[in-house]
Chains A and B, each alone.
Chain A
Amino acid sequence: MIRLEHMSKSYGDYPAVIDVSAHIKQGEVVGFLGPNGAGKTTTMRVLTGFTPPTEGTAAIAGYDVVSRSLDARRHIGYLPESVPLYLDMTVMDYLRYMGQLRGMNRKWIDERLPVIIETVRLGEYQNALVGKLSKGYRQRVGIAQAIIHEPDVLIMDEPTIGIDPIQVVETRSLISELGGEHTLILSSHILPEVSAICRRVLVIHEGRIVADDDPENLSDRLQHAERIEVSLRGTEAGAAITALRNIQHVVDVRRDTRPTQERLAEDGVISLVVDARPDEGAPEDVARTIVDSGWGLVNLHPLPMTLEEIFLELTTEDEA
């Protein structure tokens, strides 16, 4: 359905995307994951026909985005990061207009509008001016315009950026529902979002694809460490860190600096994060060391490696 072959895109001398190749099959839900400026938006702009690639090719549904641009564009629904909307139109007028521009006839639009309004849950605001809506509702209008013409491919650039947390949850579940019907590409630098919605993750860093896998495999592949969170009482942090570092299989010990842990520190509780080689019984060793030293063991539990850290490892390997 989507095909990128050695696609590069430069703005002047600045290479935004370098030699990206990827094939995405019909019905796949793919996440572009990467920090800001990694090349996610540029890749999407090439796929949507907004800007042509400098080198290589991109095709949607078999149509090249440059030579058969209009045919390719007929198959996509696109939500740019900025969620562009005409603020002086009502929700219904706006959606009707976008539908017409995507080549829908009046009858099709009239059938489709109630379904769309229901899907994105905009019922009570359908006759409101877009400019009067909150950011979260504007986001829904943006999603609605992307899906109104039932496109094969749905491309969404940072769809949950800048909206409040409750609406983020709703928007994510909405996007997950859409994933069932469309080939969906979603970009994000919010990692739990990608792992929650996508079955395949392309990690993009400095214009290149540095990993292409499903979220589970990505974390399996990179899970070469076991992480333990420990809270203890009755000693100095320095002494505890030295003692724990001496345990066999422990790779690193550092202070847990999350705000919630700092509050505990006021009660004399030291919070540490211990990285150890997996499956070597490190948690038991850590617990025994603390108890044998006569300190109070307040808390000990294993932490799962999050995609965030996987992502950090992936994207810092280049520099290493």
Chain B
Amino acid sequence: MRNTWTIAWKEIKTYFASPMAYVVAAAFLAITGFFFVASVSDPFSEASIRGYIAGAIFFMVFLSPALTMRLLAEEQKLGTLELLMTSPIREWEIVIGKFIASFVMLALMVAGTFYFVVVLFWFGDPDVGPIFTGYLGVLLYGAATLAIGLMASALSGNQLVSLVVGAGLLTALTVSNFVADRLTGTAEEIVSNFQLGSSFSVFDTSSFGVVEGGHFADFARGILSVTDIAYYVSITAVFLFITVVLLESRRWR
């Protein structure tokens, strides 16, 4: 476990020393800020963070893989993976360390949006429940997207490839409801239950900021469901496990 923290701490320092994390954080804060303002600027709008959340989870499809794309791809490109894998460290310690670092960055980014809540309390009387579950949901959803992005980063030594594969997978999981609509019976149920989070309402002015479908909807409404929490935790665990397997398989090539 000590190795995990050593790796996580090194990666966090690297994030702060490289422009990518700042670019991603700036994009995240700008986009979510825009959606938040747009969702509360009507005369009779609801004092909630649902508009921010809809924007946040949609753009994490691209921003999370941008945060994780370097983590394992660069180790492969520089050849430093050979040093890590000949040091007395286990593969899972490498993967978890990198994951923790990216999650800390994501959490810091999300923490940068707390002023939305302050603004809501200043000008209105928001419901605390949905704010709490909304933030919890964003973190759980974020963890799942980072795990998928990290898996994509283990695939090759090319950061661009890992970005495209990660964002592609996340997009596929986001729009799986379109596939489910064309299926019936068990197949429909399975595919629709695999929807990571749909937020296409960000582009629909009539239902602006309403998160429908996917496992995110209940978090946005203020409902904590074991199914949804288990879903995001499982997705995170499964993709981190695949990442470990991908690293281990490097030994056999």
> Which residues of A sit under 8 angstroms from B253, Cβ to Cβ?
11, 51
> Which residues of A sit under 8 angstroms from B45, Cβ to Cβ?
none
| From B6, B10, B251, contact of A50 by CB (8 A) | B251
| From B80, B85, B87, B90, contact of A86 by CB (8 A) | B80
Tally of A interface residues using CB under 8 Å: 29
Closest chain-A Cβ to B1's Cβ sits at a distance in Å of: 13
**A129: nearest chain-B partner, CB-CB:** B17
**A48: nearest chain-B partner, CB-CB:** B86
Tally of B interface residues using CB under 8 Å: 23
Closest chain-A Cβ to B18's Cβ sits at a distance in Å of: 7
Contact assessment for A85 and B88 in the assembled complex, using a CB-CB cutoff below 8 Å: no
Contact assessment for B80 and A78 in the assembled complex, using a CB-CB cutoff below 8 Å: no
Give Cα distance in the complex from A11 to B253, angstroms.
Answer: 7
Contact assessment for B6 and A98 in the assembled complex, using a CB-CB cutoff below 8 Å: no
Contact assessment for B252 and A85 in the assembled complex, using a CB-CB cutoff below 8 Å: no
Q: A88-B14, A97-B10, A101-B3 are in contact. Are A50 and B85 (CB under 8 A)?
A: yes
B79 within 8 A of A: yes
**B84: nearest chain-A partner, CB-CB:** A101
Q: A101-B3, A101-B6 are in contact. Are A76 and B86 (CB under 8 A)?
A: yes
Contact assessment for A85 and B80 in the assembled complex, using a CB-CB cutoff below 8 Å: yes
> Which residues of B sit under 8 angstroms from A89, Cβ to Cβ?
14
Question: Chain A CB within 10 Å — which of B7, B78, B83, B84 has the most?
Answer: B83
**B13: nearest chain-A partner, CB-CB:** A93
**B80: nearest chain-A partner, CB-CB:** A84
Contact assessment for A52 and B87 in the assembled complex, using a CB-CB cutoff below 8 Å: no
Tell me if A's interface is mostly helix, strand, loop or mixed: loop
A145 within 8 A of B: yes
> Which residues of A sit under 8 angstroms from B6, Cβ to Cβ?
97, 100-101
Q: Which residues in window 1-17 of A have CB below 8 A to B?
A: 11
Q: Which residues in window 37-88 of A have CB below 8 A to B?
A: 45, 48-52, 70-71, 73-74, 76, 78, 80, 82-88
B82 within 8 A of A: yes
| From B78, B79, B81, B83, contact of A98 by CB (8 A) | B83
Closest chain-A Cβ to B228's Cβ sits at a distance in Å of: 37
Q: Chain B 65-106, CB within 8 Å of chain A: the 1/0 string?
A: 000000000000011111111111110000000000000000
Contact assessment for A50 and B82 in the assembled complex, using a CB-CB cutoff below 8 Å: yes
| From A70, A84, A98, A100, contact of B82 by CB (8 A) | A84
Give Cα distance in the complex from A88 to B80, angstroms.
Answer: 13
| From A49, A52, A71, contact of B86 by CB (8 A) | A49
- Known contacts A50-B86, A98-B83, A101-B89; can you find 18 more A-B pairs with CB under 8 A? A48-B86, A50-B82, A50-B85, A70-B88, A71-B88, A73-B88, A76-B86, A80-B82, A82-B79, A84-B80, A84-B81, A85-B78, A87-B78, A88-B17, A97-B6, A100-B3, A101-B84, A102-B87
Q: Could you name 26 residue pairs across A and B whose Cβ atoms are closer than 8 Å?
A: A45-B82, A48-B86, A49-B85, A49-B86, A50-B82, A50-B86, A51-B253, A52-B251, A71-B88, A73-B87, A73-B88, A78-B82, A83-B79, A84-B78, A84-B81, A85-B78, A86-B14, A88-B18, A89-B14, A97-B6, A97-B10, A101-B6, A101-B84, A102-B87, A102-B88, A103-B88
Interface residues of B (CB under 8 A from A): 3, 6-7, 10, 14, 17-18, 78-90, 251-253
